[in-house]
Amino acid sequence: MYEMGLDIDPRSGYGTQDVIRLFLLIRDAPAGRVKIMRRLLLGEATVKTMLKFLKGRGLITQGTKGVAPSVKGALEFSFCTRLAGPRNVRIGGFSEGPTVYVVVKEAAGNVRSGIEQRDEGVRQGASIVTLVMTGDALVLPGVRGSAEDYLKGAAFPEAGEGDVVMVSSAPTRPEAERGAVAAATSVI
């Protein structure tokens, strides 16, 4: 798994996956604190604490348009350019809770059985299914045939040849997103 050199206080209300979710949000355009709170589904105090922490380490800048990655932050989180998502997905019968996916570009060679990604998701309170795009079909690692029957019409438009799709489900959307991000960073 990709490891950042951040020493986040466990009492802070956020974790490494929340920081990555923030950088996925602000990588293309700055975002204000209210947008961050709404998109990450974190409370105001938690977001303020996270932004203060990241600003103190020189990873973000704050301006009139909101929060943006600093040069140092853009370098530290450059791996985010390989990630698409998290995005909502509906898969009939898959889960009763929110389900999201993250696509990891060109990471198929880093997946063995998908168990490692499942374990990363479980640590975040999520159930993870790892899919690999091979040819024109998504497959479950180590299983013959396509995963199409299992997916029940779900679409992952960002996925291309050699990409990995992490499908994550959890009781809440933040847990599902944290699980997908944790699983995704395990194959970078």
Residues 6 or more apart from 180 whose CB is under 8 A from it?
A: 85, 86, 100, 101, 102, 121, 126, 128, 166, 167, 168
Architecture of domain 82-185: 2-Layer Sandwich (3.30)
Residue 47: closest CA among 78, 64, 26: 26
pLDDT in tens, the chain (188 residues): 455 667 787 778 888 889 999 999 999 899 999 999 999 999 999 999 999 999 999 999 999 999 999 999 999 998 888 888 888 887 766 667 788 899 999 998 898 888 899 898 898 889 888 888 887 778 778 776 667 767 776 778 888 899 999 999 999 888 999 999 999 998 88
175: number of CA atoms within 13 Å, CB side? 13
Whole-prediction pTM value? 0.84
- Give the C-alpha separation, 93 to 151, whole Å: 9
Q: Which residues pair with 25 in a beta bridge?
A: none
What residues does CATH 3.30.1360.30 cover in the chain? 82-185
Q: Residue 51: what pLDDT?
A: 96
Note the pLDDT of residue 3.
Answer: 55
Q: Could you tell me the two tokens for 134?
A: 């091979």
The CA–CA distances, whole Å, from 14 to 11, 77, 183 equal 8, 17, 17
Tell me the CATH number of domain 10-76, given options 1.10.10.10, 1.20.810.10, 3.30.70.920, 3.40.1000.10. Answer: 1.10.10.10
User: Contact at 8 Å (CB) between 166 and 130?
Assistant: yes
Helix (H, G, I), strand (E, B) or coil at 40: helix
Q: Is 105 exposed, middle or buried (0-12, 13-18, 19+ CB in 10 A)?
A: middle
pLDDT at res. 1: 45
Give the model's pLDDT for residue 115.
85
Within the chain, which residue ranges are assigned CATH 1.10.10.10?
Answer: 10-76
DSSP category for residue 80: G
